[in-house]
Amino acid sequence: MGESQVWKSIIRSGVPRTRRQRMHAILGSVFLHLHPARLPKHAVKVGYTWCMGGLSFFLFVNLTITGILLMFYYRPTVEYAFTDIIDLAEQVPLGIMRELHRWAAHAMVLIVWLHMVRVFMTGSYKPPREFNWGVGVLLMTLTLLLSFTGYLLPWDQLAIWAVTVGSNMARATPFLGHEGPGAALLAIGDINLIHVGSDVRFALLGGRFVGEATLLRFYVLHCIGIPFIAMIFMAVHFWRIRKDGGISGPL
209 touching other proteins, by CB under 8 A: yes
Q: Maximum distance among all alpha carbons in the chain? A: 78
Q: How far is the CB of 105 from other proteins (least distance, A)?
A: 23
Q: Which CB sits closer to other proteins, 161 or 228?
A: 161
The CA-atom distances, in angstroms, between 235 and each of 19, 25, 107, 160, 221 are 25, 19, 21, 34, 20
- Helices 130-152 + 212-220 axis angle, to 10: 140
Beta-carbon contacts of 97 under 8 Å, excluding residues fewer than 6 positions away, are 66, 69, 70, 88
| Nearest distance, CB of residue 150 and other proteins, angstroms | 20
For the CB of residue 207, give the shortest distance to other proteins in the complex, in Å. Answer: 6
The residue (of 122 and 198) whose beta carbon lies closer to other proteins is 198
Is residue 213 involved in binding other proteins (CB under 8 A)?
A: yes
Other beta carbons within 10 Å of 133 = 18
Residues in Cβ contact with 143 at an 8 Å cutoff, skipping those fewer than 6 apart? 56, 108, 109, 112, 230
Which residues have a Cβ under 8 Å from the Cβ of 12 and sit 6 or more positions away?
24, 28
* Choice from 40, 123, 134, 211 touching other proteins (CB under 8 A): 211
Burial level of 19, CB count in 10 A (0-12/13-18/19+)? exposed
User: From the CB of 194, what's the least distance to other proteins, in Å?
Assistant: 12
Q: Does 206 bind other proteins (CB under 8 A)?
A: yes
Using CB under 8 A as the criterion, what x/- string covers residues 159-198 for binding other proteins? --x--xx--x--------------------------x--x
What radius of gyration, in Å, describes the C-alpha atoms of the chain?
A: 23
Q: Which is nearer to other proteins, 38 or 195 (CB)?
A: 195
Report the alpha-carbon distance of residue 153 to residue 26 in Å, rounded.
41
> How many residues touch other proteins (CB under 8 A)?
15
Nearer to other proteins, 108 or 163 (CB): 163
Scanning 83-91, 102-110, 135-143, 157-165 for contacts with other proteins by CB under 8 A, the matching segment is: 157-165
Distance from CA of residue 39 to its chain's centroid?
26
**Closer to other proteins at the Cβ: 10 or 203?**
203
In terms of CB distance, is 28 or 206 closer to other proteins? 206
Of 139 and 160, which has the nearer Cβ to other proteins? Answer: 160
> By the criterion CB under 8 A, which residues form the site for other proteins?
161, 164-165, 168, 195, 198, 202-203, 206-209, 211-213
